[in-house]
Chains A and B, each alone.
Chain A
Amino acid sequence: MAARYLIFEDGTIFAGDGFGSPAVTFGEVVFNTSMTGYQEIITNQIYDNQIVTFTQPNIGGYGIQRNIYESIVPTVKGVIVRSLSNVATDNIRRLTLDQYLKQMNIPGITNIDTRAITHKLRDANEPLKGSIVPVPDDHAFDQLHATVLTNQQVAQVSTPKPYPNPGVGMSVVVVDFGLKNGILRELSRRKCNVTVLPYNASADEILRLDPDGVVLSSGPGDPHYVKSSVLEMIRKVQEQVPLFGIGLGHELFALANGAQVIPLGVEHHGMNHPIKEIITDHIVYANQSEGYTVDWSTVDRSKLFVTYTDMIDSSVQGLRHRQYPAFSVQFFPDGAPGPDETDGLFDEFIDTMKRKEERR
């Protein structure tokens, strides 16, 4: 393995060994504290523009599996991990993590002090841009300084065209802001007849399909840079059919209903925070990946109420509309990776759609 370096704008250099693609990469460096599911994390599109540091010391232990992708074309900018395993166990086309990242043109760096990197990110309390380079010279730093990361991430990762995921149950439209396959998996389990639409689908385009309900998918980046017509769409759709927002979808749902969304100093990626369901006072754990959060003080209590909260940082983790059958969660109830203690939210969504149907 060739020597590679992770460099930051402040001049910090971490030395390691390269794996995956040998390309130079730039991105915002974040850390994820999950101990399971590296393949799901790497293929989650929320990491568009980002380089993910795994605090879990070793990944690659089972190679790449054919049925646990969270997207087919991962957009993560890079992978940082302390130790890498070269194992392939899938019985069809044996693929190691290293081989996969090469195929997908994703650079990685290993044998590096990930705990020190995590401490650096935690203490900075603001997003830090970094680059994985073969030589940490002035040129590399100049390039890093000059790099401007796009803020049109949703447009980059969303599907350009509609596509179906047929089923025999309720008809659901999923608006793709950087869809995570877990959402489709959970809807498939519940036999839903799904149509995935691009992020900029209008309310008319959605309602023309006569769906029983609409899911606003998770996705990458700052919700303020998502086209404002999306908020318009949400406001129209929530009046007509049940709505379920997840991750970025939750942030957009909040914005559409007058709340404000603010960036977190340190992005939170993990699955070990206790999350309280306020109405039941019950504690659950879920896959969380968030760079932004709904500002609790701006939640218009005549329209929305908070349903879940993270007990560690007291952030809003769920909202529900007072007038319409619309609700949202900041965390990923589809897990993948992560606990499935909150997958009942999909059942709740189905029930909401059924009730709506009965009322018709």
Chain B
Amino acid sequence: MKKLKSILIIGAGPNNIQHGDEVDSATYQLATYLHRVGITTILVDNNPFSYSLNDSSIIDHSSIGPLTVDHLTDLIEKYHPQAILPTLGNRQAFLLTQELLEKGILREKEIELLGVPEATVRQVNNPVLLERTLRRMDAPMKKIATVNNYPDALEEANKLGYPVIIRSVLPKITSTRQIVHEQGELAAAVSKCLSHSRAEQVYVQQSLAGYKEIEVVVQRDQSGTMMMLGMVEDMDPIGIHAGDSIAFNPAQTLLDRQIQDMRDTAFAITRKLRIVGVNHIQFALDPVSDNFYVIKNSPYFDRMVSFVAQSTGYPVAMVCAQLYLGKTLREIDLGPGFAKHAALIEPVMDHIAARVPVWGFSSKQSEEQLLGTEKKSVGTVFGIGRSPAEALFKAIESRYHEPTDFHLQTQEKLSDDELVDRLIHPHAERLFSLLEAMRRGYTAYELVEMTKIDPFYFDQLSKMKELITELIEHPGKEPTLVKAKHNGLSNKLIAKLWKTTPKNVYQMLRDHNLTVKYKEVEPSAGEFEQHTQTFYSAYEDENEALTLPQPSAMFIGTGGLRLGLSNAGDFFVASMMMQLHRQNFHTIIMNCNPSSVTLNTLIADKRYIEPASPENVLSVVGIDQPQLIFIPASYTSLLETLKEYDLQSKVIALPDDRLGSLKPRSNQLVALNYIWDGNHAKFLASTAALQSATKLDYEMINLRLPAEISGDELKNLQDKAREVVEQQTTAGFYQVVFEQQGLEFKALTIQSTSLPEVAFLSKSLGINLPALLGRIVSGDEECLNKVDIPQSQGTAIYRATFPFESLHMKPQETPGPDKIIGAEMQFM
């Protein structure tokens, strides 16, 4: 094993449409291992919602700063890391690493590159280079030709067969891609793309639209041993962004020979690029000819790696940490819960994981919700079941903040023409349109023709549709109820179809003694006795979830990333969990976001991959009898429902629903932030709204900490604010907002400090505030007295980021806090 003393980890930056907190979660696991073996960990990031950045017990040097070469160089000068890790910061980290390489800094300081060799960094950053390498090794690539005139384009297009894609070489504008379906459209596309090309050339390339999209995650150690961790199949064909498609692990419609051929190619590429650690390869597969094409290679932690890890129970990040240090797979011990050499056993599943996108659309405008090659979803949730339909029902139910009536009524209202239009032009609610089409009598083969979706999925959809019909036709019947629960339907959906209440359904289940069982997500499909403490529900014979020892605390995760809260909810929940874990509570999480840091084995002692429905919560409470249950306040109906039951546990609401509600103002806004335990209020810091560049309004989206006010004025405002805070009934974070009017400050309102702001305050002050609140609410009532709130290390700036550009939304005149997708911060 390498004897490294210190490693610099490049973080991923603000959450955006491409990434949630999967990298944060992987970073936490990796850093924990590295720290444990005595390596100094240095993490640089500017994401205020990062959990890892705030945990000084595993990150020795957290650097909150810009992700730039200059800042990285400063850190290298300061901490002298012996190695740098570029695989935890998406593509951006690869670009930064390449710059560091080109500037000679890594060589000069003798800094080792972990995970990927220099040449691979360059190839991942440069598609042309990568393509050349792949072609040279005979990896199947889509056919492409470069031409500079129409006759040549025509010849190439005829060779390839229509449709073809035409795009500019060195384009002057961002998007020049044109799909040409027949010869008649070619001339116009070529002439347009020629005019947009700086080189006056166009690419004529084979279109992969309509092919199956397959994602493979493989792993390699430095001795060359390779294994496949998962093969995930997208329901939607190429043409719809993989992140927007429903996806299944394991692949359901692929023949063994197709799987083995893609596996071989994935191995060959990973070997060629000399990757150590994980590699994620995307393929397009033509189901008619069996031909497949490599479309993307990403040798870093991303949403797919975390989906595979969560759905198989194979601890990818922990293993990779060791691979990066030069251990081989055969030297890795996964610990007491696993069989000998389990790190080398390719994961197999006896359950199915379905992943569905969570949308961030602000309006119901149809054209905005059209799906295509650019990603539109902001988050993702998954469901685990023992059949594809069960997994899918659960995954859909997991989108708590979307209507759970399956959008069936909306679909029923569509005219036939509208429905056909939706089938041909895929829409965000595509699944429900397909169900409706089947209800209206379209056959599976007609739909296969129209959508290029594999017939397998229509078999599943038809089972779902039949079950729904059966429920509607047989209200209150036990056999139907058994079948529905067997297929993962929530009480809420059953109640809706039966026109009764979920409570009645729940009671009926109890009356008929239909109890839910839990199965373990474990990577050997039962071959070995292994325990991951990750569970999902099933109405079957055997139960594997045993009661945790007391004391225990249960947390409901905030679910998929959604606009407004972003990952601040995950940061908040994970921080509180870790605090209770440190106080010797056994921590239980119920969550359905495969990327969430809260599903980390180091933070949660037990994990339930379940939608946060009342019956699921009640059932887990029955098993584990937690003393405390933490539920995000935005889960209003869950909180309401649970009030009707005697839980014997204390329910604590986490304020994830309050995102600040102040209208932008032309006057300066200052907020004084407090933590309040019911008896004492402690001042945290003052924050001031920054003026927006365009509107010159002050809005609580971009913040500065501390506010620029005099010491006397601050004291004066503190006196006023404290009085208001001390009137609050529940413990938590509060802010009193003042508006500057001339020389005076006028108190506007008191409100809960939003979770994004709590995350920002935590990072600025260098104290984990949710953890502190965790101590207070778990009964350590005097702790606030004993804690000193540190001063800010300087002036900190917080800027929210919005997904308008990615989603092609019109930037609103005043982007509200409910549209935030992420944030970045910086010390001045």
Residues facing B in A49-83 (CB within 8 A) are 55-58, 61-62, 65, 68, 82-83
Contacts of A36 in B (CB 8 A): 250-251, 254-256, 259-260
| Interface contact B456-A312, CB-CB below 8 Å | no
A115 an interface residue at 8 Å Cβ cutoff?
yes
Contact B387 A35 (CB under 8 A): no
B385 to chain A, nearest CB (A): 8
B side interface size, CB within 8 A: 51
Q: Does A113 contact B (CB under 8 A)?
A: yes
Contacts of A68 in B (CB 8 A): 255-257
- Complex contact A311–B330 (CB within 8 A): yes
B252, B256, B330 pick with most chain A CB within 10 angstroms: B256
A55, B348: Cα distance in complex, Å: 9
A105 at the interface (CB under 8 A from B): no
CA distance A85 to B388 in the complex (A): 9
A272 within 8 A of B: yes
Least CB separation from A119: chain B residue: B526
Q: How many residues of A contact B (CB 8 A)?
A: 48
Q: Does residue B460 face the partner (Cβ distance < 8 Å to A)?
A: yes
A274 x B260 contact (CB < 8 A): no
Identify A285's interface contact among B346, B350, B486, CB under 8 A: B346
> In the bound complex, how far is the Cα of B454 from the Cα of A248, in angstroms?
38
Check if A339 sits within 8 Å of B252, measured CB to CB.
no
Tell me whether A57 and B349 are in contact (CB under 8 A): yes
Residues of B within 8 A of A217 (CB): none
Q: Report if B541 contacts A (CB, 8 A).
A: yes
Inside 8 A of A62's CB, which chain B residues have their CB?
A: 253-255, 456
Q: Please measure, in the bound complex, the distance between the C-alpha atom of A122 and the C-alpha atom of B530, giving whole angstroms.
A: 12
Contact yes or no, A57 B352, CB < 8 A: yes
Docked pose: A89 CA to B528 CA in angstroms: 35
Q: Which segment, of B336-344, B643-651, B786-794, faces chain A?
A: B336-344
- CA–CA, A270 to B390, complex, Å? 25
One digit per residue, 1 when the CB lies within 8 angstroms of any chain B CB and 0 when it does not, for chain A 147-158 equals 000000000000
A115–B540 alpha-carbon span in the complex (Å): 9
Main SS at interface, chain A: loop
- Chain A residues with Cβ under 8 A from B255's Cβ? 36-37, 62, 65, 68
B6 CB to nearest A CB, Å: 31
A103 to B540, CA, bound (A): 30
Is the Cβ of A270 less than 8 Å from the Cβ of B263? no
- A143 on the B face (CB < 8 A): no
B81 in the interface (beta carbon within 8 A): no
A223 interfacial by beta-carbon distance below 8 Å? no
Chain B CB within 8 A of A34 CB:
yes
Return the contact of B260 from the options A58, A113, A312, A339 (Cβ within 8 A): A339
Does A85 lie within 8 Å of B352, measured CB to CB?
A: no
Q: A116-B542, A312-B339, A338-B256 are in contact. Are A57 and B456 (CB under 8 A)?
A: no
- Chain A residues with CB under 8 A of B538: 113
Is A233's beta carbon under 8 Å from chain B?
Answer: no
> In the complex, A43 Cα to B459 Cα: how many Å?
24
Q: Is the CB–CB distance between B256 and A283 below 8 Å?
A: no
Q: Which residues 279-338 of A have a CB within 8 angstroms of B?
A: 282-283, 285, 311-312, 335-338
Per the bound structure, the CA–CA distance linking A338 and B257 in Å amounts to 8
- Asked if A82 and B387 make an inter-chain contact with CB atoms under 8 angstroms apart, the answer reads yes
Question: Given the complex of chains A and B, what is the CA–CA distance between A283 and B540 in angstroms?
Answer: 37
The reply to whether B352 and A285 form a contact with Cβ atoms under 8 Å apart is: no
**What is the CB-to-nearest-CB distance from A220 to chain B, in angstroms, rounded to a whole number?**
21
B780 located at the interface, meaning its Cβ lies under 8 Å from any Cβ of chain A in the complex: no
Given A14-B541, A83-B387, residue A285 in contact with residue B227 (CB < 8 A) = yes
- In the bound complex, how far is the Cα of B252 from the Cα of A37, in angstroms? 11
B window 504-536: CB within 8 A of A: 519, 524-529
Query: How far apart are B308's CB and chain A's nearest CB, in angstroms?
Result: 13
Q: Besides the contacts A89-B253, A312-B344, what 16 more A-B pairs have beta carbons closer than 8 Å?
A: A36-B250, A37-B255, A40-B256, A55-B350, A56-B525, A57-B350, A58-B252, A83-B389, A115-B519, A115-B542, A116-B540, A118-B526, A272-B348, A272-B524, A283-B329, A337-B256
User: Which positions in A face B, CB cutoff 8 Å?
Assistant: 14, 31, 33-37, 40, 55-58, 61-62, 65, 68, 82-83, 85-89, 111, 113-116, 118-119, 122, 270-274, 282-283, 285, 311-312, 335-341
A-B CB contact pairs (8 Å), 19 listed: A14-B541, A33-B350, A33-B526, A35-B250, A36-B255, A57-B387, A58-B352, A68-B256, A111-B486, A114-B350, A115-B350, A115-B540, A118-B525, A122-B527, A270-B348, A272-B347, A311-B341, A336-B257, A337-B260
